[in-house]
Structure 1
Amino acid sequence: MAIREIVKHPNEVLETPCKTVTEFDRELADLLDDMHETMIEADGVGIAAPQVGVSLRVAIVDFQEGQEPIEMINPELALFEGKETDIEGCLSFPGIFGEVERHGRIKIKAQERDGSWYELEAEGYEARAILHEMDHLDGVLFTSKIEKYVSQEELDELIRQQEEEDVL
């Protein structure tokens, strides 16, 4: 496994729809392993292949310690419900945060690293992270969906308030 360089905006690979994965081989497994290690090193919760310069429909979401990461190859949105607005950031846009509206509950169909298909239902923050990474695979950047930009100071204050509420 290796840590890869994260592609920063502006870069054409971030705005180009990715190719469908057809080869489920060691090269794909290495890409997934490298992406996961890169995401962890960058303190992210998700990463898509174009963010490491590879134009393939591959993404990972991993935000719960102790659980296996969600590897999504050729993901498709099968069901979506509701709308929720929350703050997002992106490894390819360091220091930029904003309020983005996304579906609150989703169901996806995707492939594992061996090519087998699976379905996954998610809601809330997990659904948001999955949809953010799936957008990357279509060349859609979260900045095109921001309704209101949030400064680092505002984000820090919101996190502090949330931590206080969690203690109570």
Structure 2
Amino acid sequence: MDFTKLIFDLIDLRSFSNLWYWIALAVTWSSASHWVLGIPYDMVMRARRLGGQAEADLQDIARINISRILYIGREAGMILVTIGAFFLTALAILGFWYHVEFCQAVFLLALPLSIVGLLSLSTAARIEAEGDTGEALRRRLAIHRLTVQVIGMISIFVTAFWGMLQNFSVSILPG
């Protein structure tokens, strides 16, 4: 058995036919919907259920994470947007113009995640501007989580559709 053939069979860059890509996609969206502005969502639920110290802990971690997100956005936001736009454009061109499947797969993961990043920055700014605490904070975090989940579902659907189309087109090409 050829060792290099075995390695390249295990590390298949045809992403849409690779089980590891789909596992990474599921884990990414699961994590994105669980960590709302860097706050584990079970902490939001615990604060709703128990109140008291759990509520105070939620407000403290929300204040810290929101300050951190807004600081990064204010200090390096334009640079991050520029670099992100460059990489997304490069992935889109390589993936869809030059038909590099790996770049298509990364683009279909990175574009919706960048939208979630911008949404997180917007939500953090609204929480800070309106001074949300208590029920208002929990409600804003729940709405943000629901929006992230909807973006994730649309992303998974589009990625699955595109992946099936790619796998189908590869399977019908002559040998």
TM-score > 0.5, shorter chain as reference: no
By percentage of residues, which structure has more strand?
A: 1
Task: Give the TM-score, by structure 2 length.
Answer: 0.27
Instruction: Name which one, 1 or 2, has greater alpha-carbon Rg.
Output: 2
TM-score by length of 1: 0.28
Q: Which has the higher contact order (CA 8 A, sep 6+)?
A: 2
